[in-house]
């Protein structure tokens, strides 16, 4: 089954589960009272909601046609870690860290499916950040508007569309009309901030691949996404910390395979770099 064909509307949900079996764990997985669908149906509704927003433009997004497919894939994967993070606290259903853990799962899925660096970068970035617009205006948020815009980089338009579709696909009993109006305002606010800070440079995936020893486009794309988040939080892209983080992304492979850097293979890595 061709993943890209299965993502074209109308969605082929059976085909999608065959290509990404991780999603089958979401079937019948109950969400919070803000959701009216099980997690799998919610995800599929988000993908459909992305399609509607691309057609209707309610929040005024500007996603280029050749990037719509990547956005559909990101929407499909954004909650992939919910089945392994679900918990309850005092009767509340929680999915703690499903965004950050999900970004790592996107890398592994991307490697298996042979995704390009850009496809993985987009999907991992949106998975990691898909909750952030909703909390962007909170005084204790870890991602105020400008930081969030820099973390999303050139994927800011796609992030706003995903966030809006995600909100619309959660119509549980606790949802009130003002929640939707507020979220729409947050999405349009984010788009204004993102555009004001742009344009954003295209990631140099080839240069990053030179730093890493991996051949997988998924590894390179995930590293690009991770480094963008570091830079958004104040790390110099060319600093020792950023280079070390990129190197460890290759060495500490979450799929269980150790991937050595070029410096390690040549014997040049010093004890101070570990």
The SS3 call for residue 87 is: strand
- Residue pLDDT, tens place only, 123-180: 999 999 999 999 998 999 999 999 999 999 999 999 999 999 999 998 877 788 899 9
Tokens 């065959």 belong to 18
What does the domain layout of the chain look like in residue ranges? 3-197, 205-273
The better pLDDT of the pair 163, 96 is held by: 163
Q: Give the predicted TM-score (pTM) of the model.
A: 0.86
DSSP type of residue 66: G
Torsion over CA: 37, 38, 44, 47 (sign): positive
CA separation (Å) from 160 to 59, 60, 267, 273?
Answer: 8, 9, 45, 38
Mean pLDDT of the chain: 85
- Residue pLDDT, tens place only, 145-155: 999 999 999 99
pLDDT of residue 32: 67
Tell me how many degrees the CA angle 43-48-51 measures, rounded to the nearest 5: 135
* CATH fit for domain 3-197, picks 1.10.3210, 1.10.3470, 3.30.70, 1.25.40: 1.10.3210
């Amino acid at each position: 089954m061709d993943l890209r064909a299965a993502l074209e509307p109308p969605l082929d949900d059976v085909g999608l589960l065959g290509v990404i079996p991780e999603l089958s764990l979401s079937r019948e997985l109950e969400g919070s009272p803000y959701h009216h669908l099980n997690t799998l149906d919610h995800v599929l509704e988000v993908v459909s909601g992305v399609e509607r927003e691309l057609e209707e433009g309610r929040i005024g997004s500007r996603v280029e046609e050749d990037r719509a497919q990547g956005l559909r894939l990101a929407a499909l994967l954004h909650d992939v870690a919910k089945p392994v993070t679900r918990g309850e606290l005092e009767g509340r259903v929680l999915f703690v860290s499903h965004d950050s853990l999900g970004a790592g799962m996107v890398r592994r899925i991307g490697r298996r499916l042979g995704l390009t660096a850009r496809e993985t970068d987009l999907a991992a970035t949106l998975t990691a950040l898909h909750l952030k617009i909703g909390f962007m205006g909170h005084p204790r948020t870890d991602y105020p508007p400008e930081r969030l815009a820099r973390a999303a980089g050139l994927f800011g338009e796609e992030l706003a569309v995903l966030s809006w579709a995600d909100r619309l696909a959660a119509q549980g009993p606790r949802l009130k009309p003002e929640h939707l109006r507020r979220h729409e305002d947050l999405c349009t606010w984010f788009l204004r901030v993102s555009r004001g800070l742009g344009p954003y440079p295209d990631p140099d995936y080839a240069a990053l691949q030179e730093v890493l020893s991996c051949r997988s486009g998924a590894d390179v794309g995930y590293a690009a996404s991770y480094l963008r988040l570091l830079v958004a939080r104040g790390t110099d892209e060319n600093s020792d910390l950023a280079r070390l983080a990129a190197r460890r992304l290759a060495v500490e492979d979450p799929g269980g395979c150790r991937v050595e850097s070029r410096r390690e293979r040549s014997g040049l890595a010093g004890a101070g770099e570990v």
